[in-house]
């Protein structure tokens, strides 16, 4: 009977240690999941803002396209096409970010962050091109 009690106490002690370790692991996993969700939501928010900015720029260019100034109008059409390309890149990145999981987050975060930087550079360049085209015809709006 004495060996039985000793074995029971050892088993209960081991079981308790395993429960404590599992609880600590679950707490850490919960913390990682919360961090992942926060980062994912922030990235989606930034991508949606970029998409909105590009949509605004496209609308602005469309409003200016009826200027009947051959080369300038072609430049604006080219800029609009570039904006549409950037918008498509944003849509792909947004879909990738939204579908990311905690398991692939680091890879997605790296890929999408790089794409976001490229899109932002291209978008800023296109905005400057549009501004220059509009300055050529004296439209500074």
Give per-residue pLDDT as tens, 106-119.
Answer: 999 899 889 888 88
pTM for this predicted structure = 0.67
Q: Is residue 52 domain-resident?
A: yes
Sequence-ordered list of residues with C-beta below 8 angstroms from that of 119, at least 6 positions apart, any chain: 50, 86, 89, 90, 93
Listed in sequence order, the residues at least 6 apart from 80 whose beta carbon sits closer than 8 Å to its beta carbon are 58, 61, 62, 65
Scored b (16 or more CB within 10 A) or e, 102-140 reads eeebeebbeebeebbeebeeebeebbeebeebbeeeeee
* Range of the structural domain that residue 88 is part of: 37-136
* 51 closest CA partner among 92, 21, 20: 92
Say if 32 falls within a structural domain. no
Is 83 domain-assigned? yes
24 inside domain: no
| Residue 15 belongs to some domain of the structure | no
How many domains does the chain fold into?
Answer: 1
**Closest to 116 (Cα-Cα) out of 58, 59, 42:** 42
Within-domain flag for 18? no
The answer to whether residue 21 sits within a structural domain is no
End-to-end CA distance of the chain: 93
Instruction: Summarize pLDDT for 7-39 with one digit per residue, the tens.
Output: 655 665 655 655 555 555 556 566 778 888 898
Identify whether 141 is part of a domain.
Answer: no
């Amino acid at each position: 009977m004495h060996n039985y009690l000793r074995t029971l106490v050892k088993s209960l002690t081991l079981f308790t240690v395993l429960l404590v370790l599992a609880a600590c692991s679950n707490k850490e996993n919960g913390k990682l999941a919360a961090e992942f969700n926060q980062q994912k939501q922030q990235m989606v928010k930034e991508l949606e803002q970029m998409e909105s900015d590009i949509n605004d720029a496209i609308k602005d260019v469309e409003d200016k396209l009826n200027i009947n100034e051959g080369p300038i109008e072609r430049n604006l059409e080219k800029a609009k096409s570039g904006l549409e390309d950037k918008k498509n890149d944003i849509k792909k990145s947004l879909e990738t970010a939204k579908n990311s999981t905690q398991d692939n987050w680091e890879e997605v975060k790296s890929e999408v962050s790089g794409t976001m930087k490229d899109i932002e550079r291209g978008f800023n360049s296109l905005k400057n091109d549009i501004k220059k085209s509009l300055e050529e015809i004296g439209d500074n709006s």
